[in-house]
Structure 1
Amino acid sequence: MATYVDILKSEFPEIDAELFDYITGVLDGGGADFEDSEEVYEAVGGVLQEVSADSKNEDDIRDICLQMFNTLKLNHHRGAQRQVLLDAPVQLSQISADSISEVTAGVTERSSAFSPQTVDAKKLEKAEAKLKAKHERRSEKDSQKASGPLVLEEASASQASSKKDSRVDQSGKNRSYDIRIENFDVSFGERAELSLASGRRYGLIGRNGLGKTTLLKMLASRSLRVPAHISILHVEQEVAGNETSALQSVLESDTVREDLLGEERRLNARIANGIADGMESVRLSEIYGKLEEIEADKAPARASVILAGLGFSPRMQQQATKEFSGGWRMRLALARALFARPDLLLLDEPTNMLDVRAILWLENYLQTWQSTILVVSHDRNFLNAVVTDIIHLHSQRLDSYRGNYENFIKTKEDRLKNQQREYEAQLQYRQHIQVHTGTESTDRYTQVQTGTHRYRQYTQVQTGTESTDRFPDNFEKLSPPILQLDEVEFYYSKDQPLFSGLNLSADLDSRICIVGENGAGKTTVLKLLMGELTPVNGVRQAHRNLKIGYFSQHHVDQLDLNVCSVELLLNKFPGRTEEEYRHQLGGYGITGELATRPVASLSGGQKSRVAFAQMTMPCPNFYILDEPTNHLDMETIEALAKALNKFKGGVILVSHDERLIRMVCKELWVCEGGKVGRIDGGFDEYRDILHEQFKKEGYL
């Protein structure tokens, strides 16, 4: 088999004899001390690069050093001069470095037929100095009996496992995992800067349409300059469906583990067929050590816990990914990212795809996340539970605040009060100057501004305008019963009963929220209440004057995307003036030019507002809302909650937004196990129940 001498001759056939002697001397003298190929590269890589005369790049040289290191390691381990092929496959659980079969490494006579060549003497001195320093560090480490951990650079769970708190790469260089990007433009106006400290969790907030998602995409694509050694994962697209099981799909996101296992299988196959050499046996031992270091055997259990926390039952974890809906594939994409543990995790509205149970689990899981997170979310309680910092995108700038969302609100209010006071003081001073300078007030004020005492110019504090401030409620009070389900049984197929003995009632004073895991039947309950589905058994009763307004979680399906918002209302409710349609849309933030743009061109949040305008146009006296907060920004969610509280009719909603639930709902119904039951302790009791379940099932 090839030795490092053979490798040198093969790769550098025209190497000068003196350089050849120098390199082989370095390798002969330090062979037992080299711990990895990086040390071989540091010792002789610079010289080899000079010898190659640019015919080989740095990666080529590193590969050659790896080959030579493997032969050096073989020489160090063996002691016998005969190569032995293994009769049976080597099992990874049984192999160790000390049990590697001894192999032969014949040394070829050195040839003297080399062409003359020159190399920078400084390169040789530098290489010798590096080697000397390496030997000194080795001696010091040996005396302290300490060794550094292997650092893997791929974006994987193995990376996070092996890095832990170490920020030193294989070459001994300190690497920063902080991110600082200065003077960039994400299309929202002024040049900005972004700083993300390693290990902190940032919430990126701001009104819809300002560029939050664009910023995440630019980071993910590295259009903004993020250091190359920092791995990034952006949970943006659902997992493609194929025959791979959900659990295996998550395991495959750990690229380091998968590569090591794949190489282990290939090497074992070669050994079983009797065609492996000693170097491959050594490599197999290395693989075993790396798999043990990254705790590869524990990976399936950890992946299963993540999937279970996000709502995947044991049966679902074994299902092929192609069998899942888009929402579940998005959860699978989130599970893969959590399992891979990148240096920078980018999340865009992660709670939109989750039910309350999964959100609470995710909050707990991310609280112990050790790398950096940048999350766009309009879920106020989620931000309070998870983030350590807030980045506020507004007025064409990014402002950073320490603390969670509640701390941001308090600090922001204090800043605005101070800004308003400064503005008023400056305005008063300017008026004083104008009184004393008459018609030259502007010039005189400018002179004062540029004189010895300089003043920062402040602008009046602008407060955001809220839409959805009121739902129309000009209707008569209806006497109970308003809406009831009595002993209702329902199923889509007889062999899969969904509900039985369902007894529910609501009136115009009701503020009811229905919670439960995805797939438990929450939307089916809403459709039974509305009369869109007919019970198999039992009775639905509704007041003859009951008029229901329904908001679907798939509200886009209710809209004609090919017309503008004004035309949409005109087609749906003909006979009114354009001013009336515009007034209706304006109450939900669709004003001016927005009202005349095709609905298809509007953002998700703007489409939601159009759907609200359409839903409220006929003045319903009862609202049934299915996930109404998806795509809404935080200000609009607050306005929606206030509008529902002012509304004089009844409300039943399905929502995962804890803030909305707490602000609006007086009753909490839990949908599970074919039943819908009321929890007297409200959302607090529901949270406590879920936390106990997580602990009992080992998901926390």
Structure 2
Amino acid sequence: MLSIQDISIRIAGRMLIEASSAQIVPGARVGFVGRNGAGKSTLFRAIRGELSLEAGAITVPPRWSIGSLAQEAPDGPESLIDVVLKADTERHALLAEAETAQDPARIADIQTRLVDIDAHSAPARAAAILSGLGFSTADQARACQEFSGGWRMRVALAATLFAAPDLLLLDEPTNYLDLEGTLWLEDHLANYPRTVIVISHDRDLLDTSVDQILHLDHGKLALYKGSYSSFEEQRAAREMIEAKHAKRQAEERKRLQDFVDRFKAKASKAKQAQSRVKMLERMKPVTALVTQDVKEIRFPEPEKTLSPPIVALDNVSVGYEPGKPVLSRVTLRIDNDDRIALLGVNGNGKSTLVKLLAGKLPPFSGKMVRADKLSVGYFAQHQTDELDPDGSPYTHLRRLMPDAPESKVRARAGAIGFSGKAGDTTVQSLSGGEKARLLLGLATFAGPNLIILDEPTNHLDIDSRAALAEAINEFPGAIIMVSHDRYLVESCADRLWVVADRTVKPYDGDLDEYRRTILAPQTLPPSRERVREPSKPPRSRSEKSSLKQKIATAEAEIERIGGIIAKIDAALALPDIFQRDPKQAAQLTKARAAAEAALGKAEEEWLEASASFESAD
């Protein structure tokens, strides 16, 4: 059990957690929630032993391994699959030792332990995790250094999940994922066999993947059983009870104080007045839970409603290098009040499409018609790099309102969530959520007809995400969104487009159907029409490549196990080993039997993959 006993944590003079406790039982799947800056990541550091406590104690079972997402993305010439496999440090060390071990007893111990930890299936397990997080079979063989920082953070997440620690600590893991990867992670965490605590602002993940909610609010920890939806209901009931309790206590304190004030000067009532003074002193004040109101998000309305369609694409192709289109045969239209969510794994062209719609990329071919005087607001998280770190919300707005009086600029800053002194806070001092709010305000400053939101929920807490959903639904213009937050998509989108197979098509199903498709062991159909294909379609190139990789992996495993059996046979051939050391001989015999079983399994996998590859041809 993870035991948190009356801990207090102070950072830079600020008390984040004060005299708080929680008990996490083995096997619990816990969602850790609270406002940004409340101290959630700080508690993770304390659990890992990276931070000293001001008071109290955190006790982790001595044999438990603790795993969390690395702060820095892995890099280097190693393949993705090798990076992930190395995360199981015991397996990696045993395999390295097996290459050089000479002592028969140690060889037997190594092979027995490798069987115990199911080392043979490790490559398949690692490949399955990488695949779930969006890496194709070909990608898994590429060097880690070939990928961008965001993709390498996915590799770090894959390595953490593969290691399967006894206590898994995940801090906002979906920030690096698309919707498809998020859906896979939800399913993986829901079936995680050990203890997991995940900091997340993703409602759907907290509703589908965890069975307890740990809430940090005003420095206090509270553990609730059930999903996030259940937590909201329980907390609302608790707030109501505590508000009533606080009101009753306030009334009782007033009654006692009135008695003291009235009779403290009368000798006949002095004793009674004094006793009531003591009662007041012993009465510990109860304060009602104060819910911090989330700042509203509003998008300025466009000045004029344009004639539909505001954007129409007819057989358009687009990309970055002439002759190498990323998307082709795109025929779509956008109307004034559309709410469209883009689906599809990262790398399929969603960003290319939104850049085309935003006017940042011209089409290679086809016809693209935009309404006259169309105004587009474009938000993307990477735009934080374009903000002036030494500037403030006020100075950024002043550049857009050079001739406006200060009062109007201040009012506009307040409208996007930066009232008073907050408007003069430097960008480098803003939290991730505050930077996102500033970017949203700047992107929609001119009242655009079309707003494009590319992963707008990163760094926003749950209440701010709800405010964003409300703003989207109230906006009278068109909105296109790319988001891994299923709650936002389901709350706002009335049309789904899938970006796959180098084109874009409407998706007729809902997100539940899309989720089932993603988690099924088959290639994603971009629309329902693909479902009506023949029951045994020809295998695609990617499937053949996957089978070829399986064959090569199985062949390498057969060769490796064959070498192990040869070493064990050499040890068993030593003179008089059965008479001299019968226990060691028994261990070697057991290890050989286990190796034989592993060899048989590898040969079966090779035969199955080879047969499938031949039938594909």
For normalisation by structure 1, the TM-score amounts to 0.69
Q: 1:362 aligns with which of 182, 185, 195?
A: 185
SS of 1:191's equivalent in the other structure is strand
Matched, 1:328 2:151: yes
Is residue 252 of structure 1 aligned with residue 80 of structure 2? no
1:682 aligns with 2:510: yes
> Alpha-carbon deviations, 1:415-435, whole Å to 9, x = none?
111122223333444555567
User: Given that residues 294 and 464 in structure 2 are in contact (C-alpha distance below 8 angstroms), is that contact kept between their aligned partners in structure 1?
Assistant: yes
Q: 2:292 aligned to 431, 456, 464, which one?
A: 464
- 1:304 matched to which residue of 2? 127
Q: State the structure with more CA Rg.
A: 1
Q: CA contact under 8 A between 1:212 and 1:376: conserved in structure 2? A: yes
Say if 2:141 is the partner of 1:313: no
Shift of 1:452: 10
Are the aligned partners of 2:2 and 2:59 in contact in 1 as well (CA < 8 Å)?
A: no
Q: 1:393–1:592: structure 2 CA closer, same or farther, 3 Å change rule? A: farther
User: Does the 8 Å contact 2:416/2:441 carry over to 1?
Assistant: yes
Q: 1:439 to 1:618 in 2, by over 3 A?
A: farther
The match for 2:4 among 180, 186, 189 is 180
Cα distance, 1:439 vs structure 2: 5.8
The alignment of Structure 1 onto Structure 2 pairs a total of residues equal to: 511
Gaps in structure 1 of 5+ consecutive residues:
1-176, 268-275
Q: Distance in 1 between matches of 2:69 and 2:290?
A: 34
Structure 1 match to 2:601: none
- Equivalence for 2:168: 345
Secondary structure, in 3 states, of the residue corresponding to 1:500? strand
Cα gap change, 1:186 to 1:431, in 2 (>3 Å) = closer
Change in 2 beyond 3 A, CA 1:461/1:179: closer
Determine whether 1:265 maps to 2:88: no
Return the match for 1:595 from 423, 432, 443: 423
Q: CA deviation at 1:446?
A: 9.2
RMSD (CA atoms): 2.7
The AA in structure 1 aligned to 2:63 is H
Among 205, 216, 230, the alignment partner of 1:407 is 230
The question of whether the paired residues in 2 share the 8 Å contact of 1:566 and 1:578 is answered with no
1:289 equivalenced with 2:124 (yes/no): no
Alignment of 1:465-484 (within 5 A): 465-473=293-301, 475-484=303-312
Distance 1:452 1:523, change over 3 A: closer
Residues 367 and 626 (structure 1), Cα distance of their counterparts in 2 relative to 1, 3 Å cut: same
> Any stretches of 5+ residues in structure 2 without a counterpart?
53-57, 265-269, 525-542, 547-617
Q: Aligned partners of 1:341, 1:433: CA distance in 2, in Å?
A: 59
Change (3 A) 1:645 1:264: same
Deviation at 1:466, TM superposition (A): 2.2
Structure-2-length-normalised TM-score:
0.78
Aligned to 1:486: 314
Distance in 2 between the 1:530 and 1:440 partners?
A: 76
Is the alpha carbon distance of 1:452 and 1:205 closer, same or farther for their aligned partners in structure 2, counting shifts above 3 Å? closer
CA–CA distance in 2 between the matches of 1:180 and 1:437? 42
Verify the 8 A CA contact 2:26 2:194 in the aligned structure 1: yes
- Distance change (3 Å), C-alpha of 1:477 and 1:572: closer
Separation in structure 2 between the aligned mates of residue 415 and residue 208 of structure 1, nearest angstrom = 22
| Selected match of 1:398 from 211, 221, 229 | 221
Give the corresponding residue for 2:467: 639
CA distance in 2: counterparts of 1:464 and 1:660, whole angstroms: 21
SS in 1 for 2:139: helix
Q: Is the 8 A contact 2:74 2:156 kept in 1?
A: no
Which residue of 1 is the match for residue 239 of structure 2?
416
Instruction: Say whether 1:562 aligns with 2:387.
Output: no
Q: Is the 8 A contact 2:299 2:441 kept in 1?
A: no
Superposed CA offset, 1:496-517 (max 9, x none): 4321110121122111111110
TM-aligned CA deviation for residue 465 of structure 1:
1.6
AA paired with 1:254?
A: D
1:388 to 211, 214, 229: 211
Task: Provide the rounded CA distance (Å) in 1 between the counterparts of 2:330 and 2:274.
Answer: 75
Distance 1:209 1:178, change over 3 A: closer
Query: Is the Cα contact below 8 Å between 2:174 and 2:182 reproduced in 1?
Result: yes
CA, structure 1 residues 478+630, in 2 after alignment: closer, same or farther (shift >3 Å)? same
**Comparing both structures, which one devotes a greater share of its residues to strand?**
2
Q: Does 1:195 align with 2:23?
A: yes
Question: What is the alpha-carbon distance in structure 2 between the residues aligned to residue 440 and residue 383 of structure 1?
Answer: 56
Percent identity of equivalent pairs: 38
Post-superposition offset of 1:546: 1.8
CA distance in 1, matches of 2:444, 2:296: 10
Residue in structure 2 matching 1:237, options 60, 64, 71: 71
Code of the aligned partner of 2:197 = L
| Secondary structure in 2 matching 1:265 | helix
In 1, Cα distance between equivalents of 2:277 and 2:417: 39
